[in-house]
């Protein structure tokens, strides 16, 4: 195994007063805030007009067994891992789990992508970005935040893109399922994609960030299985819409969608691109070729995907722990890695467990690509 592991998919659970203290004053009376009872159930809940009331404990329950979740969910922030919002405590957990550095994303902020008030939503994301920047400043060589971009207004979102680039963010985080009138192949985004490409900021497309409302309903087993589908569709639309042809250096990361499904989807994409390609003159090559050239993917525990890694591209894969969420490999990340990487050559392990992350997020000035000892 490599000497030090890097996580390309980690998270925070935001402190409950983030939005009530950091959003612009006209929004603060509607900002996400903490309540201590919901539908007769005690605990901590994040309430925000326009969104479902949410129990945040699942975002800070790394290491808790499924059969313990119901009881755990009543404990609120007090029982969640403090590293979720306290960088000093997070570094302790990283040391215990053998993680050298992390790319990290929002927690509750994922739900805000479906807030129906676009202006409110953009300010909520701006507030998170400011907090994430401060949080990471405690360990700038180990914690690398990704900025939320609302993708609701090309002009306003471009302003935020310029701002977070100046702040030093290493990538942007967008909805995996934008509304029909603002899909990512819409020409309205062309100036935005040009700027992203020039900045060389990876675009991160994460599960559970739908603009139209929640992706998980009454049947979490079935809904959970198909979570990767919206991300595939959003990325594939960018390809068929000519975005990748016009922007060959754009980097898209499929985050927490796992990878085992990708070889089959890429084969289908290849076949249907061959079959219907003449209808898409903007494509100068097979759609699957664009995907293999510009799309990367993270996973945390996906043995089928690792066994098929050559069909995806070893240089396109990145492991992540998903700390501190309920499905995180913490505190047994090393066991998960050993289970997934049995028989994988050490040079390939080095790429997937850190080297690719360093290259994709342009961290060469801070981190050395990790190689096997």
- CATH number of the domain where residue 307 is located: 3.20.20.140
Q: What CA–CA distance (Å, rounded) separates 147 from 161?
A: 8
256 within a domain of the structure (yes/no): yes
- Domain assignment present for 334: yes
**pLDDT exceeds cutoff 90 at 269:** yes
368 in a structural domain: no
Count of domains forming the chain: 1
- pLDDT value for 40: 93
* Within a domain: 127: yes
Q: What is the mean pLDDT of the chain?
A: 97
Confidence (pLDDT) at 369: 56
With respect to residue 229, please indicate whether it lies within any of the assigned structural domains: yes
Dihedral (CA of 180, 182, 187, 189) sign: negative
User: What range does the domain containing 10 cover?
Assistant: 5-30+82-360
Confidence at residue 3, expressed as pLDDT on a 0 to 100 scale = 78
Place of tokens 């927490």: 256
CB burial string 69-81: b at 16+ within 10 A, e below: eeebbeebbebbb
pLDDT-derived band at 368 (thresholds 50, 70, 90) equals confident
Sign of the CA dihedral with 23 first, then 25, 27, and 33 last: positive
Q: Could you tell me the pLDDT band of residue 55, with boundaries at 50, 70 and 90? A: very high
Instruction: Report whether pLDDT(373) > 60.
Output: no
CB 209 within 8 A of CB 110: yes
Decide if 59 is inside a domain.
no
Residue 139 contacts residue 364 (beta carbons within 8 Å): no
Q: How far apart are CA 180 and CA 304, in angstroms?
A: 33
Looking at residue 190, what is its pLDDT?
98
The answer for residues whose C-beta is within 8 angstroms of residue 280's C-beta and 6 or more apart is 240, 273, 287
In a domain, 37, yes or no: no
**How do residues 158-189 score in pLDDT, each as one tens digit?**
999 999 999 999 999 999 999 999 999 999 99
Q: What is the pLDDT of residues 10-49, one digit of tens each?
A: 999 999 999 999 999 999 999 999 999 999 999 999 999 9
CA dihedral 251, 334, 312, 296 (to 10 degrees): -10
- Residue 369 belongs to some domain of the structure: no
Q: What is the pLDDT of residue 76?
A: 98
Average pLDDT over residues 140-156: 98
Which residues are paired to 205 by β-bridges? 174, 254
Q: What are the tens digits of pLDDT across the range 101-134?
A: 999 999 999 999 999 999 999 999 999 999 999 9
């Amino acid at each position: 195994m490599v000497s030090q592991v890097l996580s390309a998919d980690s998270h925070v659970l935001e402190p409950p007063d983030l939005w009530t203290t950091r959003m612009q004053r006209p929004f603060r009376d509607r900002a996400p805030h903490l309540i201590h009872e919901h539908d007769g159930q005690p605990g901590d809940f994040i309430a925000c007009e326009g969104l479902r009331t949410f129990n945040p404990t699942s975002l800070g329950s790394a290491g808790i067994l499924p059969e313990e979740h119901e009881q755990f969910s009543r404990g609120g922030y007090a029982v969640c891992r403090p590293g979720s919002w306290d960088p000093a405590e997070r570094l302790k957990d990283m040391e215990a789990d053998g993680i050298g550095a992390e790319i990290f994303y929002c927690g509750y902020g994922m739900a805000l992508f479906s807030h129906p008030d676009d202006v409110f939503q953009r300010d909520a994301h701006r507030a998170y970005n400011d907090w994430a920047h401060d949080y990471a400043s405690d360990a700038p060589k180990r914690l690398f935040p990704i900025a939320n971009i609302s993708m609701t207004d090309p002009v306003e979102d471009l302003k935020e893109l310029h701002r977070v680039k100046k702040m030093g963010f290493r990538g942007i985080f967008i909805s995996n399922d934008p509304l029909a009138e603002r899909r990512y192949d819409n020409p309205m985004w062309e100036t935005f994609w040009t700027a992203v490409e020039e900045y060389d900021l990876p675009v991160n497309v994460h599960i559970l960030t739908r603009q139209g409302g929640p992706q998980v309903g009454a049947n979490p087993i079935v809904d959970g299985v198909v979570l990767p589908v919206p991300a595939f569709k959003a990325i594939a639309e960018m390809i068929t819409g000519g975005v990748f042809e016009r922007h060959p250096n754009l980097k898209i990361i499929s985050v927490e969608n796992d990878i085992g499904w990708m070889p089959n989807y890429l084969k289908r994409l290849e076949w249907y691109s061959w079959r219907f390609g003449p209808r898409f003159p903007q494509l100068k090559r097979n759609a699957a070729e664009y995907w293999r050239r510009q799309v990367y993917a993270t996973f945390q525990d996906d043995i089928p995907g690792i066994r098929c890694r050559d069909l995806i591209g070893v240089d396109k894969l990145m492991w992540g722990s998903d700390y501190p969420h309920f499905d995180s490999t913490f505190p047994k990340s090393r066991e998960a890695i050993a289970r997934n990487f049995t028989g994988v050559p050490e040079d390939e392990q080095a790429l997937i467990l850190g080297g690719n992350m360093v290259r994709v997020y342009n961290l060469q000035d801070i981190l050395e690509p990790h190689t096997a000892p």
